C-alpha cells in the first residue's frame, strides 16, 4: 500500500456514499451564509466546490469540519451524523482539511508540522508523555518515520529540517497537505490549494491530488482555478449567496446558463463555458 494511505481502520458501511449533507443552514447575525445546502460525495471521487466570492464555500467547509455549528441541517460521514462534533473528533473520524490561508507552525520544522498532524492517531497518554516509557519512545519514532514518508509523498523530502515559515509558498501548500494526510483521512478537504501558484506549481498540485485519490483518499476541493476544477473533478457543486446553484459533472456545469451568469454577469449565458 502506498505510503500516504492507511485506511484499514475505517469501517465499510456498504455504500458508495462517503458524505451526505442535508439542508445545511448557517446564519451570522442578519446574513444567511448557507441556506438548505444539500449534496453527496461518493467514495473515490474528487468533488469540486466552486462559486463567486462570498458564495459560502469556506463557511460550508467550516461547518463540515466543526469550526461552525449549523442552525439547521445535518452532515453524515461514513454512516455517522457528526454535525455538532468538535474539530478534533471530526479529524479522528477521518475528515481532514487544509485552509485558504495557510496555517502552519512557522517556527517549527516541516517534519515537526507533519508529526503534529500524526498525533491524532497516537495512543500515548499523559503518563507516557511524562515518563517516556519504551512504548512511547517507539511510537514517537514511528511518528517521525511516517512524517518523513509523507514529506516524500508530497514531493518535499529535502525540506524536512527547514522551518515552515522559510519554505517557498508552493512547498508550504504541499506541507499543509502532508500534515492533513498524517491524520489518515478518508476524505481530504482542500480549501483553495492552488491559490497563488503559477502554472507549473498548479500542474504539480494536480498530479498530487490525482495521486491522493488514486491511493484511496476521497478529495473535496474548493478552488477558483476553473481549468483545474473542470479538468480534475468528477462532480462539481456550485454555490451562490449560500444556496446551491447547480450540481453535476464538469461538462454539465460548464454549459449551465445559471452558472455562466453567476461568474460572468447578466447576459453571459451565450458563452460556452465558465471562466475564471
In this structure, what C-alpha cell is assigned to residue 232? 480534475
Residue listed under C-alpha cell 456514499: 17
Q: How far apart are CA 201 and CA 73, in angstroms?
A: 38
The kind and range of the H/E element at 41 are: strand 31-42
**pLDDT by residue, tens only, the chain of 276 residues:** 355 555 433 444 446 999 999 999 999 998 999 999 999 999 999 999 999 888 999 999 999 999 999 999 999 999 888 888 888 889 889 999 988 777 788 889 999 999 988 776 555 544 444 445 666 677 788 888 899 999 999 999 999 999 999 999 889 999 999 999 999 999 999 999 998 888 998 999 999 999 999 999 999 999 988 899 999 999 999 999 999 999 999 999 999 999 988 876 644 444 434 443
- Specify the number of domains making up the chain: 1
Q: What is the pTM of this model?
A: 0.84
Question: What CATH number did the domain enclosing 21 receive?
Answer: 3.40.50.300
Would residue 161 count as lying in a domain? no
Quick one: pLDDT at residue 101?
A: 75
Cα 184 from Cα 105, distance rounded (Å): 20
Q: In terms of Cα–Cα distance, which of 121, 110, 122, 190 is closest to 150?
A: 110
Res 1: pLDDT: 39
- Position 122 scores a pLDDT of 56
Residue 82 in 3-state DSSP? coil
Output b/e per residue, 99-116; b: 16+ Cβ within 10 A: beebebeeeebbbbbbbb
Question: What does the pLDDT read at residue 5?
Answer: 55
C-alpha–C-alpha distance, residues 223 and 203, integer Å: 14
The domain in which residue 211 lies consists of 17-94+184-270
pLDDT value, residue 23: 96
In a domain, 136, yes or no: no
CB 237 within 8 A of CB 60: no
The pLDDT value recorded for residue 138 is 76
Q: How many CA atoms lie within 13 A of 118 on its CB side?
A: 25
Q: Give the CB-side neighbour count of residue 40, counting CA atoms within 13 A.
A: 9
Rg of the chain over all Cα atoms, to the nearest angstrom: 19
Sign of the Cα torsion 137, 162, 190, 203 reads: negative
Q: Is residue 108 part of a domain?
A: no
Q: How far is CA 188 from CA 30, 66, 180, 206, in A?
A: 32, 14, 7, 14
Are the C-beta atoms of 50 and 221 separated by less than 8 Å?
A: no
Distance of CA 82 to the CA centre of its chain: 17
Helical H runs in the chain? Answer: 57-64, 87-93, 110-118, 126-131, 134-153, 169-181, 199-214, 226-232, 250-255, 257-264
Q: What cell numbers appear for 267 in the block?
A: 447576459
173 is a domain residue: no
What's the confidence (pLDDT) of residue 125? 46
State the Cα–Cα distance between residues 207 and 270, nearest whole angstrom.
33
Residue 101 lies in a domain: no
**Cα separation of 273 and 207, whole Å?**
24
| Residue 141 placed within a domain | no
Residue at 63 is within a domain: yes
Measured CA to CA, the distance from residue 20 to residue 171 in angstroms comes to 32
Residue at 41 is within a domain: yes
In this prediction, residue 261 carries a pLDDT of: 87
Amino acid at each position: 500500500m502506498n505510503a500516504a494511505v492507511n485506511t484499514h481502520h475505517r469501517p465499510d458501511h456498504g455504500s458508495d456514499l462517503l458524505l451526505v449533507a442535508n439542508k445545511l443552514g448557517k446564519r451570522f447575525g442578519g446574513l444567511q451564509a448557507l441556506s438548505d445546502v444539500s449534496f453527496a460525495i461518493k467514495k473515490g471521487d474528487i468533488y469540486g466546490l466552486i462559486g463567486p466570492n462570498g458564495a459560502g464555500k469556506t463557511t460550508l467547509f467550516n461547518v463540515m469540519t466543526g469550526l461552525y455549528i449549523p442552525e439547521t441541517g445535518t452532515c453524515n460521514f461514513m454512516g455517522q451524523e457528526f454535525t455538532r462534533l468538535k474539530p478534533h473528533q471530526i479529524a479522528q473520524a477521518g475528515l481532514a482539511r487544509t485552509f485558504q490561508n495557510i496555517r502552519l507552525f512557522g517556527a517549527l520544522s516541516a517534519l515537526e508540522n507533519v508529526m503534529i498532524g500524526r498525533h491524532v492517531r497516537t495512543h500515548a497518554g499523559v503518563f507516557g508523555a511524562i515518563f517516556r516509557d519504551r512504548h512511547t519512545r517507539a511510537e514517537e519514532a514511528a511518528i517521525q518515520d511516517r512524517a518523513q514518508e509523507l514529506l516524500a509523498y508530497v514531493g518535499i523530502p529535502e525540506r524536512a529540517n527547514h522551518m515552515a515559515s522559510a519554505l517557498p509558498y508552493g512547498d508550504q501548500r504541499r506541507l499543509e497537505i502532508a500534515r492533513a494526510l498524517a491524520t489518515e483521512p478518508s476524505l481530504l478537504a482542500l480549501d483553495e490549494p492552488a491559490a497563488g501558484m503559477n502554472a507549473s506549481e498548479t500542474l504539480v498540485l494536480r498530479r498530487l491530488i490525482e495521486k491522493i485519490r488514486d491511493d484511496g483518499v476521497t478529495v473535496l476541493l474548493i478552488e477558483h482555478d476553473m481549468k483545474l476544477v473542470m479538468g480534475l473533478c468528477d462532480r462539481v457543486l456550485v454555490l451562490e449567496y449560500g444556496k446551491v446553484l447547480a450540481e453535476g459533472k464538469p461538462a454539465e456545469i460548464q454549459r449551465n446558463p445559471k452558472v455562466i451568469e453567476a461568474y460572468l454577469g447578466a447576459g453571459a449565458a451565450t458563452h460556452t463555458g465558465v471562466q475564471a
